[in-house]
Amino acid sequence: MKGICRFTLLFSISLLPLTLCAKHRVWSSQVKSLQVVVNQNWTRLPVMTLGSDDVLHVHFDELSHTYHRYLIRLEHCEPDWTPTEGLFESDWLEGFNEQPIEDYESSVNTTVLYTHYHFSIPNEHCRLKLSGNYRIHVIDEDNDNAEVLTAEFRVVEPIMNIGLGVTTNTDIDLNDKCQQVFMTVNYNSIRVSNPQEQIQTLVMQNGREDTQRENIRPTYITPKGLQWDHSRQLIFDAGNEYHKFEVLDISHPTMGLAHIAWDENEGHYHAYPFFCELRRNYIYDEDANGAFYIRNSDNVENDYSSDYVYVHYQLIAQRQYDYAKIIIDGQWTTEDPDFYVMNYDVSDGSYHAVVLQKQGYYNYQLLMLGADGQTHPVPEEGSFYQTENRYDAMVYYKGTGERTWRLVGFQEKVAKF
């Protein structure tokens, strides 16, 4: 066909690999419940539109009533999350960096004492001038300037269009448990003379960095854009619906909880979600694809009146997996992965883990973490093509002579079958 050609292997070789992943991380054992949300869209990726009224909100707790002077420092990053070196701070930031967090509140009537901190971007001190990837560093001035957390978000200038589709019609050997992503990119008025060097792409399922697909070779290239059809590298394990539960009232169990108890000796509440077991068939259960939302039964003053409880997770396993760790995974699992590892109990043939969490609504899944650092579905969870998943696609562009990559396209697609 005139103007259309098969894309060569050169595309995947020439592009810079997106080897590093965006991941909110908490580095201090005293900091909990990190939330990074644009506007009130707590189920979506934190992506802001450049020049819009979008506001990024960052919330977290420090487990004491002692005030800490926290500073936030912004950093512009490349698509692989390495810090951008070719720009001055004034190229992407208007205003001041390293601002103190001035919005904080001590917890009220909670068994676990904490101070809730919040800040937003943009604010009266700064705003962003450039699209791309951004990392936030939160520094504790009262503790030798130790970094307590990092949070990542993106800013998009939507000047390229992305078409995104998902089907269960995959390769014959994967048809029962996988989903195929189709994608197109339209350059619009942007002149792309060398897509091998000027375009980078990223596709994610449910915001998971461990399974994201970077710079997959397109099936076709045209003067107006790129197209991916039946790319085997854009086939994702469909997985299963996330488990979910709510801890809304600490006096009695709510959705997804078998029971909740008060330990008089410890002075803490303990919540027990229904245990996980082998799921042989697919059953639809509406979830939030790993997201979470802090709230209590009154849904007022959620940030500083919601208590902390110890949540007891349990997986009834078919056997012990000596070659891999079983971990709990969700958008709220921001501490070191070892913090969410489940331990096997020979006496009852199940995996257990206990995690301190703030009252609210939580989604989670169980994954296998291999010695190679790769994650895989736990056999007990199953993988079914009907599973509802959210896919996000991004396009980065670097024009001739430009010093950094801009995020020029973003699209979200919720796959329902």
- pLDDT value of position 243: 98
The Cβ of residue 415 has, within 10 Å, a number of other Cβ atoms equal to 22
Asked whether the beta carbons of 367 and 329 are under 8 A apart, the reply is yes
Confidence bin at 172 (pLDDT 50/70/90): low
Q: β-pairing, 161-167 with 146-156?
A: unpaired
- Report how far residue 53's alpha carbon sits from residue 395's, in angstroms, rounded to the nearest whole number: 22
Phi/psi for 57 (5° steps) reads -115, 130
Q: Can you give the pLDDT at residue 173? A: 67
Tell me how far apart the alpha carbons of residues 260 and 198 are, in angstroms, rounded to a whole number: 54
Predicted structure pTM score: 0.92
Main-chain dihedrals φ then ψ at residue 324, nearest 5 degrees: -155, 155
| pLDDT greater than 90 at residue 4 | no
Q: Give strand pairing partners of 227.
A: 184, 220
Q: What is the pLDDT of residue 1?
A: 39
What average pLDDT is seen over the chain? Answer: 92
pLDDT average, residue stretch 246-255? 94
- Using the predicted structure, report yes or no on whether residue 176 has a pLDDT greater than 90: no
Question: Residue 23 has what pLDDT?
Answer: 83
**Predicted local confidence at residue 374, as pLDDT:** 87
Residue 15 reports pLDDT greater than 50:
no
Residue 29 has φ and ψ, to the nearest 5°, of: -70, -15
Say if residue 14's pLDDT is above 50. Answer: no
User: Element (H or E) spanning 357, and its range?
Assistant: strand 350-358
On the question of pLDDT at 6 being above 60, the answer is no
The helix/strand/coil state of 58 is strand
Which whole number is the average pLDDT over 103-118? 98
**What is the mean pLDDT of the segment spanning 70-80?**
97
Does position 150 have pLDDT exceeding 60, yes or no? yes
Looking up tokens 């078998």 gives: 258
For the cut 90, the answer to whether the pLDDT of residue 188 exceeds it is yes
User: What are the b/e assignments for 157-179, b being 16+ CB within 10 Å?
Assistant: bbbbebebebebebeeebeebbb
Which tens digits make up the pLDDT trace of 31-62?
A: 999 999 999 999 999 999 999 999 999 999 99
pLDDT digits (tens, 9 = 90+) for 270-303: 999 999 999 999 999 999 999 999 999 999 999 9
Residue 119 has what pLDDT?
Answer: 98
Give SS3 for 406: strand
Interval 394-417: pLDDT, tens:
999 999 999 999 999 999 999 988
The string over 287-326, giving b where at least 16 C-beta atoms fall within 10 Å of a residue's C-beta and e elsewhere, is bbbbbbbbbbeeeeebbbbbbbbbbbbbbebeeeeeebbb
Specify the range with the lowest mean pLDDT, choosing from 2-16, 26-40, 341-355: 2-16
Residue 8 has pLDDT above 80, yes or no: no
Single-letter amino acid code for the residue at 390:
R
* Confidence at residue 174, expressed as pLDDT on a 0 to 100 scale: 67
Domains and CATH numbers, the chain: 25-156 (2.60.40), 158-238+388-415 (2.60.40), 243-377 (2.60.40)
Beta bridge partners of 136: 74, 151
Query: Which of helix, strand or coil describes residue 143?
Result: helix
Mean pLDDT confidence for 73-88: 96
